[in-house]
């Protein structure tokens, strides 16, 4: 494939290195120094764009690709509020968008297990659920997109929880028993750690995923780029992995 890489931080460089080993080409790399290169002339011959930037930049990057007819795979998190608008544009343009809060195969297995466990635990209200996510100090959004996805799954399966909140936020009048607390920790160079805990007075049950390398995310992003070739529509990791 001929891939346009939008965002050339640690994640972008990992995708480039892994992609080249697999035989893919990266004729266009967009970063802070050359955003103007995201144009029709530079994108000629590009099969797909992989976008890992910032919450502020991602929507504009994706819109530009969709308007130019380029399939785009985005792993940027923190811009969910604009997602419905961009999905609408994708449908209107007959374009292709693959978006995921986490491209790790292991994390997406965690998503499947999280939903099933939440469904079971809803029958046992004595257990209080909470979540902790830990990432490197460079991560701009909190909680992580993965933590939000996990929390929303739990809320969908719960008959007594009505919102999630970032630990430290002022609790609403509904009271803490109706809220799922997420603690977001930023330390060192942690690649990503997510833990869901169900705790009662007599025991504790937990699900945990610990990313050891960015290679897991890069591998998933490249698989997603290969997956969308020749396809039109809106896709996610559930389409790719069929979990």
Whether 88 sits among the annotated catalytic residues: the reply is no
Q: Class for domain 105-210, per CATH? A: alpha beta
CATH of segment(s) 2-103+215-241: 3.40.50.720
Measured CA to CA, the distance from residue 44 to residue 139 in angstroms comes to 32
CATH 3.30.360.10 domain span(s) along the chain: 105-210
Q: Where in the chain is the domain with CATH 3.40.50.720?
A: 2-103+215-241
List C-alpha distances in Å: 200 to 85, 92, 170, 204.
41, 49, 24, 6
Q: What is the spatial distance between Cα 141 and Cα 55, in angstroms, rounded to a whole number?
A: 8
Cα–Cα distance for residue pair 136/107, rounded to 1 Å: 17
Active site residue 139: yes
The overall average pLDDT reported for the chain is: 93
- Report the 3 state secondary structure along the chain: CEEEEECCCHHHHHHHHHHHHCCCEEEEEECCCCHHHCCCCCCCCCCEEEECCCCCCHHHHHHHHHHCCCCEEECCCCCHHHHHHHHHHHHHHCCEEEECCCCCHHHHHHHHHHHHHHHHHCCCCCCEEEEEEEECCCCCCCCCHHHHHHHHHHHHHCCCCCEEEECCCCCCCCCHHHEEEEEEEECCCCCCEEEEEEECCCCEEEEEEECCCCHHHHHHHHHHHHHHCCCCEEECHHHHHCC
Q: Can you read off the two tokens belonging to residue 180? A: 């799922």
Would you write out the chain's pLDDT as a tens digit for each of its 243 residues? 999 999 999 899 999 999 999 999 999 999 999 999 999 999 999 999 999 999 999 999 999 999 999 999 999 988 989 999 999 999 999 999 999 988 999 999 999 999 999 999 999 999 999 999 999 998 878 899 899 999 999 999 999 999 999 987 655 444 567 899 999 999 999 989 999 999 999 999 999 999 998 899 999 999 999 999 999 999 999 999 998
Q: For residue 204, how far is the Cα from the chain centroid?
A: 28
**Of the residues 135, 191, 194, 219, which is catalytic?**
135
């Amino acid at each position: 494939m001929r891939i346009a890489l939008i965002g050339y931080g640690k994640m972008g460089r990992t995708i480039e290195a892994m992609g080249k080993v697999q035989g893919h080409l990266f004729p266009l790399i967009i970063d802070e120094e050359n955003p103007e290169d995201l144009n029709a002339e530079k994108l000629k011959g590009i099969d797909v764009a992989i976008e890992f930037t910032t919450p502020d930049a991602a929507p504009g990057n994706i819109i530009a690709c969709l308007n130019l007819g380029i399939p785009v795979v985005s792993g940027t998190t923190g811009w969910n509020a604009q997602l419905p608008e961009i999905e609408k544009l994708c449908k209107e343009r007959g374009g292709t968008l693959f978006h995921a809060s986490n491209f790790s195969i292991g994390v997406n297995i965690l998503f499947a297990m999280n939903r099933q466990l939440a469904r079971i635990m809803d029958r046992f209200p004595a257990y209080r659920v909470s979540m902790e996510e830990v990432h490197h100090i460079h991560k701009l959004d909190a909680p992580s997109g993965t933590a939000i996805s996990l929390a929303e799954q739990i809320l969908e399966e719960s008959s007594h929880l009505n919102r999630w909140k970032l630990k430290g936020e002022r609790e609403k009048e509904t009271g803490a028993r109706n809220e799922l607390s997420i603690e977001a920790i930023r330390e060192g160079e942690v690649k990503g750690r997510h833990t869901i805990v169900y705790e009662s007075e007599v025991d504790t049950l937990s699900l945990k995923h610990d990313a050891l390398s960015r290679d897991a995310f890069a591998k998933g992003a490249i698989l997603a780029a290969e997956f969308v070739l020749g396809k039109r529509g809106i896709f996610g990791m559930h389409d790719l992995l069929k979990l």
